[in-house]
Structure 1
Amino acid sequence: MEVIVMRKIYIVSTYTGTVLAHLIRTITRKPYSHISISLDDSLDTMYAFGRINPKNPLVAGFVEEGIDKGLYEIKKNTICRVYSLEIDDDKYEKLKANINKIKSVKSLYNYDLLSLIAIPLGLSRRPEFGYVCSTFAADMLSKSGIALLNKPFYTVQPNDFYNLKGLTLEYEGLLRDYNKFRATYSIDTI
C-alpha cells in the first residue's frame, strides 16, 4: 500500500492600512486586501505580488514577504487571517516549483495595476506577464493542481479567499503576534 504524504501550505490574508489597502477594502467591503502564499507554518517567507519597495507603492512586482520584512516591518498593526490547506507531497512540490519558476524570472513580471480596476468591475483581463496578489496566488494554486476556486485565476480577488471552503482558519489577529500564538498553541493540535 502506497503511503500518501500530506503537507500544509498557508494562505495569508492581510490588511496593512495603506491607502491602496484601504481603497481595496472599501470597494470589496471585506476586511482583508492582500493575499500571500507560504510553504511553511512560520510564515518566514510568503510569496506574493506587492510592493518591492515598502515605502513606494508604485514599485511593485514579485515579492518575498515575511512577518518582519518589507511592508510588514513598517506596518506593525497589520491584521491577518492565516488559513491552512493540506495537500499531497506531489502538489506541494509542484507549487514550490511554480513559485520558484516565477521567482527565477521575476524581472519579466510586473504588478498589473489595471487589474485592480478591471477585476472588481467584472472585466476580463489576462496579461501574460502581470499579476496582482490574488491572481498570482490563484494561478500558482491552479497550475499546481490545487482546485480551490471555481473561476479563472485572472478574475480572482483577495476576498475570494475569505472563508473559502476547503481552507482551515488557523489564526486571526495581528500578524506580528502570529508566531507567539503558534508557540503557545501548536497549530497542529488545534
Structure 2
Amino acid sequence: MLGLKGEVPPPDSPSRGQPAHDRSGPQLPDRGRPPWSVPARARNATVDRSAPRNARSPGRHGRSTIRSSGEYTVGRGGAGKGDLHVAEIKVYGASWCPDCRRAKRFLGDQRVPFEWHDIEHDPDGVNVVQARNNGNNVIPTIIFPDGTFLSEPTNEQLAEKIGLERMAMMHVYDLIIIGGGPAGLTTSIYAARENLQTL
C-alpha cells in the first residue's frame, strides 16, 4: 500500500482494518488460570497439624505420657512402627536423676513412646521399682511390654532391647570422607593403603 506521497509504510505498521497490538511488554500465555493460582490438588491438600513430637500430657500421681508418631529404625526381631504403643514402655525414675533424664532423652530421640513415672510423687511406682530390684530403689527402672526390665541401662543396652539398628559400629574414626566424587574415592583408596579407620 502506498502512502499519500508514495511512501511504503514500515513492515511492523498494522494494516488498515486490523487492531494494533499492545507492545508495552511481553504477553503472558493464557493457560486458563492466572499464573499465580494454586493447582487444584494443592488447594485440596490436607495439612497435618497434629501435636509436635514428644508432646507431654500430664497424668495422675506424677505420671506423664510421652507421645511420638515418627519413624524409627529397628533391627531384626525388633518392634516395627505401630507395634510399640503409648504407655507400653514404662520408665520409673526421679526428676533429679541424671541417668533417668538420659534414658528419657534417648527414647525420645529415637521416637519410642513411653510412660514416665516419677517415684517421688507415685507411691505405687516405688513398690514397682523395689519389687524388681530386691527391695532397692534403683532408677531408672524401665519395664517393657513383655514383662522384662532393665535397671540403670546404658544407651547401648536400651538400643539392643528395643531392636534399634546400630548404623555405625565404631565411635572413633581416623578419617571421615564426605562425598563420593573422584577426590573422595582417591582419598579412600590412599586411606585404606595406610590402614586408616575410614568412614
Task: Provide the TM-score with structure 2 as the length reference.
Answer: 0.25
More strand by share: 1
Which gives a bigger RCO, structure 1 or 2 (Cα 8 Å, sep 6+)?
1
